[in-house]
Structure 1
Amino acid sequence: DSPIHAPSFDCETCDRSFGSDEALQQHLRDSRAHRQVLQTPLDVFFRSFPTFDYSVTDYDPSLPPATSYAYLREHEGWQRGEAASNDAWDRYQDALEGELRMWYGAENDLTAWHALCRAISIEPLPRSCEKAVRNTHVNIVDLIEWGRKRGNTDERVQTFRTEAELRAYGKGTGKIFRNTFDQEDSNVVLRHLLRKIFREVL
């Protein structure tokens, strides 16, 4: 019970202290200083193409991942079925998975549940986010995009009434997340929101 042995939740970069680990993690996600130095899996993927330049600036992390990938594909001149295109698609999907696990952690992580509930407009936060999201249909790439904004947006991720609506949206926008996971995965999103929408790899 000694105060001197109480756990501390300090940000060494900002020299600030927080009352809980959840508050510290939220600060790390929201702080502009941390955003500038944070290299996410998608950032690493897109920056691995040194000549990637689709406007007056290089890769722009603020753009939706699907938009950046479409620009990259056009920039590289890839045709569907080519070895280089297939390799890049696999690496892009790996980066999306890494990003998903970064923003929405394990099933026993309360911060991950709260982030997910906020993303899909379940507020105030319920006692059991799991029950609230179990039957929700949402595009995984949209969830990743929301996570990359660190929740610094008033917009919420669009949800769909049926898998058919979600399938049409994914095909129409190119926002496709590869489903190679089983139902035992411990990630919050993969375990509860991933749907078997496409019969073949796109």
Structure 2
Amino acid sequence: MRPRCIPCDRYFNSDTSLNQHKRTSLAHAFNCNPCNRRFDSEDALQQHLRYSPAHAPSFSCDDCDRSFNSEEALLRHLRDSPKHQQDTETPLDAFFSSFSTFHYDPSLPPATSYANLRRHEGWRRGNSTADVAWDKYQKALQSELEMWYGAENDLTAWHVLCRAIGVEPLPKTCEQCEQAVRRTHVNIVDLIAWGRSGSEDKVQTFRDVAELRAYTKETGKIFRNPFDQESGNVVLRHLLRNIFRESL
């Protein structure tokens, strides 16, 4: 009796012909549709599904549009990321909220809130109270920067910075991230505002220090140089520019 392919209801002259039919016929193909690949057997398909990186389990944070390799990594992100700590008062929140008669709106950029505070308090340059407040504001900015952009040996911190300035695709190592952002000119207060807002748009960057200086003077988005130049923070070590010879 001639061998038969039961699913196809076809007969063949030999077992060799039948086996060739099973290997090449689309009716017997074992397809991985996401990869657009075809396999010769169910076992081969299952092995592909088990071991291919394209089918590795992914644990996603929909709010941040990020994926993690394990549930533990996702839970750690949800626990530690400032974006998910909505009930936590940030350093800037604490600073602005310390002025009891000032109506503070956390959704506004820090520079806007500080300008509103100055008008509310009627501060003028040279006023001692204004000087003390400026120092506290700058310290709050520095603490906020550390919160949103971590240590330079932390790939997650580098990736936050890369997303902020529009580096795509995200580099795979800290060293590659450093190469990608090394010559970037960006306003530090804008970086802090980006972290606070959770915006998907990238932060504005500039061609050179002169262009950044003009923008900073015009907008009043001033981040005072900290004295500690050995900071391990991603931004302070790699993006802080000396744009003013004198303090403003």
Report the TM-score range of the alignment, normalised by the length of the smaller protein: 0.7 to 0.9
Distance 2:247 2:135 in 1: 10
Offset at residue 201 of structure 1 (A): 1.3
Q: TM-score, normalised by structure 1?
A: 0.82
The answer on 1:155 being equivalent to 2:205 is no
Residue 99 of structure 2 is matched in structure 1 by: 49
Which residue of 190, 198, 205 corresponds with 1:142? 190
Offset at residue 38 of structure 1 (A): 1.2
Residue 71 of structure 2 is matched in structure 1 by: 19
8 A Cα contact 1:181 1:190, kept in partner: no
Offset at residue 126 of structure 1 (A): 1.4
Matched to 2:157, the amino acid is A
> Relative to 1, partners in 2 of residues 1:22 and 1:82: Cα closer, same or farther, differing over 3 Å?
farther
Distance 1:114 1:103 in 2: 11
Q: How many residues align?
A: 175
4+ residue segments displaced more than 4 Å: none
Distance 1:108 1:82 in 2: 41
Matched to 1:166, the amino acid is L
8 A Cα contact 1:22 1:111, kept in partner: no
SS in 1 for 2:179: helix
The answer on 1:70 being equivalent to 2:115 is yes
Bigger drift between 93-102 and 153-162 goes to: 153-162
- Structure 1 residue runs without a partner (length 5+): 1-17, 54-58
Residue 167 of structure 1 is matched in structure 2 by: 213
Task: Note the aligned Cα RMSD (angstroms).
Answer: 1.5
Residue 178 of structure 2 is matched in structure 1 by: 130
Deviations 1:26-59 (A, max 9, x none): 564444xx31x11000000000000003xxxxx1
Distance 2:72 2:140 in 1: 29
Distance 1:104 1:81 in 2: 32
Identity %: 66
Which residue of 114, 131, 137 corresponds with 1:92? 137
8 A Cα contact 1:136 1:160, kept in partner: yes
The answer on 1:179 being equivalent to 2:231 is no
- Structure 2 residue runs without a partner (length 5+): 1-69
Which residue of 40, 50, 57 corresponds with 2:90? 40
Deviations 1:50-94 (A, max 9, x none): 0003xxxxx111100000000000000001011001000000000
SS in 1 for 2:106: coil
Structure number with greater CO (CA < 8 Å, separation at least 6) is 1
SS in 2 for 1:178: coil
The answer on 1:112 being equivalent to 2:157 is yes
